Structure 1
Amino acid sequence: MIVLGSDHVGYPLKEQMKQHLQDKGIPYVDLGCDTTDRVDYPVYAARVARAVSQGEYARGMLFCGTGIGVSICANRFQGIRCVVCSEPYSAKLSRCHNDSNILALGARVVGSELAFMIADVWLSTPFEGGRHAARLEMMDLLERGKRDEPNQR
């Protein structure tokens, strides 16, 4: 199941994505916002990031004007690897190399059809593991303050 969140600018794209996910049979939960009335994006980015960080959901999607604000906020939570994508290739590599667990999309940057392509690739691409898993472990150690700098192998 995917957890979704947006600010007021990302709300229309989130609503379109919900229909796309429903058409594909992918279950989702929407944590807001529920209108185009102005809201503060950190509230909704934090809701989604906290839910993924705490293991309630494996992955999430966030929507705002550019995807940047929500991604910066989400990445402050332990274990979150939120990526902003505006084309499918980065979405694919963010999954297979970085095991990204939240996708951020900018409603002012990508149209709905491109957003659907990005999301489809992101949702269908598995993490490769291997050498990439070792790099994620390095990042996890840094996040927990266990190292000043990763050791080169």
Structure 2
Amino acid sequence: MADSIIALGADHAGFHHKQIIKAHLEKLGFSVKDFGTDSPESVDYPDFAHPLAEAVGSGECKLGILVCGSGNGVAMTANKHPKVRAAICWNEELAALSRQHNNANVLCVPERFVSQELAVQMADIFLHTDFEGGRHGRRVSKISC
């Protein structure tokens, strides 16, 4: 997947983890499209989550990672977009299950509740875990309204 474009975005409360995740992904050879923000100055999370979700939903970017203080705001915003399944994760098992069972295509990281090291580990797991399909595919097909 290193040749796929990964979308990355955050608000001010997720800026620091976003920068660490970005550097890690680029070191691994991923192409990263950074939707901002570019500083810890206060901003509105939908201004970054909507463009990222559009890029993932359209297929421009294979997967996305959003970071904010709780993970909730960016997840709620991203999940308004058709074809986007954004999952808030705060441990490695949830990051894996979000891909395996829910075919999540956007990982939402709560910076105030996870370390930088854990955020990077979750990103790795999310990007390297495949959807299992089968019974999970049937369930995922029922998510959209």
Given the two structures, how large is their TM-score scaled by the length of structure 1?
Answer: 0.89
Candidates 138, 141, 145, aligned match of 1:137 = 141
Cα deviations by residue, 1:2-54 (Å, 9 ceiling, x for unpaired): 00111011111100111111121122110111111110001101111111111
Candidates 35, 48, 51, aligned match of 1:44 = 48
Structure with max Cα Rg:
1
1:57 aligns with 2:61: yes
Secondary structure in structure 1 of the residue aligned to 2:67: strand
For structure 2, the residue ranges without an aligned partner over 5 or more in a row are: none
- The answer on whether the counterparts of 1:4 and 1:62 sit within 8 Å (CA) in structure 2 is yes
Secondary structure in structure 2 of the residue aligned to 1:20: helix
1:92 aligns with 2:96: yes
Candidates 26, 29, 44, aligned match of 1:25 = 29
Distance 1:121 1:75 in 2: 21
Q: After TM superposition, where is structure 1 displaced by more than 3 Å over at least 4 residues in a row?
A: none
Candidates 129, 132, 135, aligned match of 1:128 = 132
Distance 1:107 1:139 in 2: 27
Sequence identity of aligned pairs in percent? 42
Secondary structure in structure 2 of the residue aligned to 1:2: strand
Partner of 1:70: 74
For structure 1, the residue ranges without an aligned partner over 5 or more in a row are: 144-153
Given the two structures, how large is their TM-score scaled by the length of structure 2?
Answer: 0.94
How many corresponding residue pairs? 141
- The answer on whether the counterparts of 1:59 and 1:101 sit within 8 Å (CA) in structure 2 is yes
For the aligned residues, what is the CA RMSD?
0.9
Distance 1:118 1:139 in 2: 24
Q: How does 1:76-115 map to 2 (within 5 A)?
A: 76-115=80-119
